[in-house]
Amino acid sequence: QVQLVESGGGLVQAGGSLRLSCAASGRTFSRYAMGWFRQAPGKEREFVAGISWWSGGSTRYADSVNGRFTISKDNAKNTVYLQMNSLKPEDTAVYYCAAAARATIAAMIESYDYWGQGTQVTVSS
């Protein structure tokens, strides 16, 4: 029902910024809660940020990125963004966009129904 495609990853110096985009296609996209996850080599996929489906809704961040990353969306464009500032080498991972068939934010992988293919973010020291 929903297809997600991430873009915007790349190589950046520590302290720099990147903006990830997630383009979505499918019906009733605006009624899905959205999330960003990341997975570093040898580690489990972990929650990064989430946003509820409604306009002006709640956002949630992992402690490790709170204050540095910002999740947002443009329902008219069916696009979700992750603005990543003050990047650190430990932020290096493949970043995945995900959609959950629910209105409220979810932090668990099991809550999400659709996933993008991922985009690589590499932060050099």
DSSP letters for 76-106: GGTEEEEEE-S--GGG-EEEEEEEESSSS--
First CA to last CA distance, the chain? 40
Close Cβ partners of 51 (under 8 Å, ≥ 6 residues apart): 33, 34, 35, 57, 58, 59, 60, 71, 72, 73, 80, 105
**Residue 28 scores a pLDDT above 60:** no
The pLDDT of 65-81, averaged and rounded, is 93
**Residue 41 scores a pLDDT above 70:** yes
Residue 29 has what pLDDT? 53
Q: Could you tell me the pLDDT band of residue 115, with boundaries at 50, 70 and 90?
A: very high
The pLDDT of 21-47, averaged and rounded, is 88
Q: Is 55 in contact with 76 (CB distance < 8 Å)?
A: no
The top-scoring range by mean pLDDT among 28-37, 66-75, 101-110 is: 66-75
Q: Mean pLDDT of all residues in the chain?
A: 92
Q: Could you tell me the pLDDT band of residue 112, with boundaries at 50, 70 and 90?
A: very high
Residue 83 has what pLDDT? 98
Residue 30 has what pLDDT? 58
